[in-house]
Amino acid sequence: MSCQETNCQAMNDQTTSRRVYLDNAATAPLRQEVLEAMLPWMGLEASAAVGGFGNASTLYAEGRHARQALEAARAAIAAVIGAMPFEVVFCSGGTEADNMAMAGICAGVRERHGSAKGGNRVLAAGIEHHAVLEPLRALRRGGWQTGLISPNREGFVTPEALQAALAANSGERVTLVSVAAANNEIGSVQPLCGLADLAHERGALFHSDAVQMLGKQPFDVRTLGLDAASFSAHKLGGPKGIGALYLRSLTPFAAQQLGGGQERGLRSGTQNVAGAVGFARALELGLVEQQAEAQRLTALRDELAAALLALDGRISLTVDPREPEGGRAATDDQAVSGNQAAVGRQVAPGIRVALSSQSASAAQAVSGNQPASARQPTAVGQSAAGRYLPGILSILVAGLESEAMIQRLDDVGFAVSGGSACSTGSLQPSHVLLALGVPRKAAQSVLRISLGHQTKRQDIAAFVGAMAELLA
C-alpha cells in the first residue's frame, strides 16, 4: 500500500470513528452545563426545593417557585442585552420572535396611529431569514406595501442602500425596517447603529433578527438603538424551543398569540421555565467565553479557508471573511456594545449573569432609545470582533451540487449544510447567494461550514482531508 493510500485509509478510519459536527449555525449541541441547570425545572431532580415542574402562572408554592426561576432567567437575559426585564418576552424560538415582531409591531402601529400617521410600508433586507421574509409576504397579502433592501456583494446592507429604499415611494411612510444583525449563511455583521438611526430619522421603527449574533459578538439593544430584536437559545448551546423578543418599552405591539395572557399579555401560552433557565445559562457561558472563543474560531475559520482554497481550484469563497491586514473597524474599547468588561452577578439561586457596566447603565433606563450622539460610534457600526461572524465559512465548489456533497460528507462522518434546499425534486438556490449576485448555477454548489464550541483543530484537518477525497 502506498503512502498516499495509507493516509487515505487513516483518514477514512478517523472520519468513520467519530462524527464531526460542522453545522452550528443550524443548531449548536446542548451544553452539559445548560442541561444541568435545566434539570431541576423539569421535575427530574428530587432536590428541587418545592417542585420544579410547576406552572409559572399558578398561585401555589410550585407555581411561585417556577415563576421565580422564570423571572430570574428573564432578568439575566435582559441584563446581558442592555434591556429592562419587562422588555423581554419569552416565546418558542427565533421564528416566532421574528413573526411576532413583523406582524405584531405593524398591527400595533395600525391600531395606535392608523395607516395615515403610522405608515403603510415595511422594508427588510433581501438576505433576511425566511422567518422575516415570509411574514413580510403575509403583510403584503394583507395590503401593506413592502420592499427589499439590496445588500452589496460582500453581504452588507449599507446606509446608502437603506436610504434609497426609504426614499422609494416617497408618498408612503415606512412603518418598520428589519435587518438581521448577522446573516445565517455567510456571517456578515450589519452596521445596525447607522441603519437604525436612518430608519428613526424617517419615523420608522427598527427590528433586528439577532438569532445568529447573540453570544458571538457583543450586542446591546440600547447602544444599537433597536426597537425590537429576536433571539433563540439553541444557536448558542441552549435548548431548542425557547427564544425571546426584545420589545422596547412603549413600542406599539398587538399580541399575535392569544389565550391566558401570559408574558404581560404579549404572548399567551404556558411558559417554558426549564427552557428559559437553560437559555439564561447558555448566554452566561457564551458571554464569559465570548472574546477568547471568537479569537479561537476566527483562527480556525481562516485556517480552514486557506486550506480549502489551496486544496482544489474548483473551490472558492462565497465571501472572504478573513480580516485584511489592519482592517478591523475599531479597537476593543470602541466596540459597538461593551459586554467585554463583564462581571458576575447572582440574580437568583442557581442563575448568574455576567453584566457589563454598559449593560447595567442601559438597564437603568425605563424606556426610549439613546440619542445617536450618546452612542459609541465605529467606522461602519460593526463590532471590533470583525465584519463577519467568526464561525461561519461559505464555499462554492464548481461542478458539484450541494445535496450530493452533503450526503457524501455525511457518509464519512461530517455534518455540514448547503445554501440550497431540495424542494419537489429540484434544487432551489439560496436567496441569500442570489441577492449577492452569485449566478444561479454556482449558488447550487454551496457548502456552509459553521464551527462551534466543540470544534477542534483536528476536526478542521479531518474535514479538509474528506474534501480532498470527495474531489479526487
Contact 262, 271 (CB under 8 A): yes
Cα–Cα distance for residue pair 68/18, rounded to 1 Å: 41
User: Cβ(121)–Cβ(146) under 8 Å?
Assistant: yes
User: Between the CA of residue 101 and those of 3, 206, 365, 371, what are the distances in Å?
Assistant: 58, 10, 22, 22
All three cell numbers of 427, joined, read 434544487
3-state secondary structure of 319: coil
Query: Do 439 and 396 touch, CB atoms closer than 8 A?
Result: no
Query: Of these residues, 3, 8, 193, 422, which one is catalytic?
Result: 422
Cell 401560552, residue located: 269
Angle in degrees, 0-180, between the axes of helices 457-471 and 273-311, rounded to the nearest 10: 50
Outline where 256-411 has alpha helix (H): 273-311, 357-363, 402-411
How far is the C-alpha of 222 from the C-alpha of 81, rounded, in Å?
8
* Cell numbers for 298: 476566527
- How far is residue 176 from each of residues 122, 265, 370, measured CA to CA in Å? 5, 22, 19
Sign of CA dihedral 283, 287, 292, 298: positive
At 110, which amino acid appears?
A: R
Tell me the three cell numbers of residue 371. Answer: 440619542
Instruction: Tell me phi and psi for residue 20, to 5 degrees.
Output: -115, 115
Grid cell digits, residue 46:
428530587
DSSP assignment letter at 130 = H
Number of alpha helices (DSSP H) and beta strands (DSSP E) in the chain: 15, 16
Cα distances from 202 to residues 26, 102, 103, 399, in angstroms, run 35, 18, 20, 46
Cα dihedral 41/44/47/49 (nearest 10): 40
Q: How far apart are CA 364 and CA 384, in angstroms?
A: 25
Residue 422 annotated among the catalytic residues of the structure: yes
CA distance 222 to 79: 11
- Point out the residues that are catalytic: 422
